[in-house]
Amino acid sequence: MSVRTIGVVMNGVTGRMGYRQHLVRSVLAINEQGGVTLSDGTRVTLNPILVGRSETKLADLAARHGLSDYTTDLDAALDRAEIYFDAQVTQARVKSVLKAIEAGKHVYTEKPTAESVEEAVALARAAADKGVKNGVVQDKLFLPGLLKLKRLIDGGFFGRVLSVRGEFGYWVFEGDWQAAQRPSWNYRAEDGGGIVLDMFPHWHYVLENLFGRVQSVYAKAVTHIPTRVDERGEPYEATADDAAYGVFELEGGVIAQINSSWAVRVNRDELVEFQVDGTHGSAVAGLRNCRFQHRAGTPKPVWNPDLPVTHRFRDDWQEVPDNGEFENGFKIQWELFLRHVLEDAPFPYDFAAGARGVQLAELGLRSSAEGRRIEVTPL
C-alpha cells in the first residue's frame, strides 16, 4: 500500500473555528488515523501549512501540535501546496481565494464565500475557468440530528412535507458585566458582521439539500442590542443585525420559518432545532438527536383554556436510534473533498452552492430593508 503526502495551506486557523474544527478535529485527526484511503488503496496524509497575519500566534499554535510549516507569506505557502483552505473573516476571503485559484490550487473554504452575490459568483466562475476543484463547508448536513432527519425523509416517513420550523440561537453577553462569547466584529456591518450573512447561508444549504430549492424569502433583520463592549473593554455601536426572522417558500409548496438570534435565552433541548411536519408524521431534529411522531401515534388534543393541561405531549414522541457511529461532520466533509480532489469523487457542495447561500443572505437583508417578500432567481 502506497502512502503520499500533500500540502494544504490553512489560512485563518488562529481563529476559533479554523483552529478547533478544521486543523485539530479534521486535518490532524485525518493524519492520526493514518490518512484518507483512496479507492485504489493509496493512503493520503496531509501537511498543513499554517498561514496568518501574526507570526507569533502561528508559531505558538505550531509548537502546540508539533508542526513546523507556518508563514505569513501566502504566496510562498501556495508554492508548496496542492490545496488551499480559507477560514479567515469573510472580508479577507475573496482576495485570498482568487490568489489561490490563479495559482492553480484546489480550494476549500468556509462560508459565506463572499459578502456579496456578485463576488460569490465571480469566485465560482474563476474556479470553473481555471479548472480547479472547489468546495464550501456545509457542516450542518453532517450533524447526527440532521443525518437522522434525512433518514426519515429518505424512508418516506413524512408523507408530503408541509412545513419546517427552525429555532437557532442563544444569549451572547454584551461584554460589560460578562465577556461576550463571540468576537466584536460579528456585530459591526462594516467588518462583515451580522447574523443574516452568518446564518442564512447555513439555512440555505439545509433547506436546499433536505427539502427543496428556496423560491422566495421574507425576512426581518433587527439589532436588539444596540451597544456592546469589545475585547479591549471599550463600548461600541452594534451596526449589524443580531437577530433575523425569516419565512422561506420552497419548491413543492413547503413553507419554512427560521428564527435566528444572538439575543435569545435557550428554552429548548439544543441550540438549534428543526421541526418538520408532514401528512404522515412529524420530527424534531437538533444537533445530535431526532424525535419523531407518526400519525398513528398522534394524540387528539382539544383546546380548553379553562382546564389545566395534564397530558405530557413530549411523552408521545420516540427517539430515532443512532444505528451506527457518527463522526465529526467537519472531518467527514474534509475527507469527501480530498477524495473529490484526488480521485474525482462526487462533491456537490461547490462554489456555485456557496453563491446561492450568499444570495439568500443578500435577499434576506433586502427583504428586511424593503419590507416585502422577494423571489429567488436561480443563479
Each as own residue / partner, the long-range contacts of residues 172-180 (CB below 8 Å, 24 or more positions apart, any chain) are: 172/242, 172/262, 172/263, 174/225, 174/227, 174/228, 174/229, 175/228, 175/229, 175/230, 175/231, 175/233, 176/229, 176/235, 180/228, 180/229
Domain extent listing, the chain? 3-138+329-348, 140-327+358-374
Give the pLDDT of residue 86.
98
* Mean pLDDT (whole number) for 115-129: 97
Of 196, 190, 194, the C-alpha closest to 182 is: 194
* Statement: residue 1 has pLDDT above 80: no
Give the pLDDT of residue 324.
87
Ramachandran area for residue 66 (φ above 0: left; ψ -120 to 50: alpha; else beta): left
- What pTM does this model have? 0.95
Categorize the per-residue pLDDT at 178 as very low, low, confident or very high, splitting at 50, 70 and 90.
very high
For the chain, give the percent of residues with pLDDT over 90.
98
Categorize the per-residue pLDDT at 122 as very low, low, confident or very high, splitting at 50, 70 and 90.
very high
pLDDT per position as a tens digit, 129-165: 999 999 999 999 999 999 999 999 999 999 999 999 9
pLDDT per position as a tens digit, 261-290: 999 999 999 999 999 999 999 999 999 999
Give the pLDDT of residue 151.
97
* Mean pLDDT (whole number) for 76-103: 96
* Mean pLDDT (whole number) for 171-196: 96
Q: Is 356 in contact with 124 (CB distance < 8 Å)?
A: no
Superfamily for 140-327+358-374? Answer: Dihydrodipicolinate Reductase; domain 2 (3.30.360.10)
Identify the CATH number of the domain defined by range 3-138+329-348.
3.40.50.720
pLDDT per position as a tens digit, 229-254: 999 999 999 999 999 999 999 999 99
* Statement: residue 3 has pLDDT above 90: no
Widest Cα–Cα separation across the chain: 74
* Statement: residue 101 has pLDDT above 80: yes
- Computed over every residue of the chain, the mean pLDDT equals 96
Categorize the per-residue pLDDT at 350 as very low, low, confident or very high, splitting at 50, 70 and 90.
very high
* Mean pLDDT (whole number) for 171-176: 97
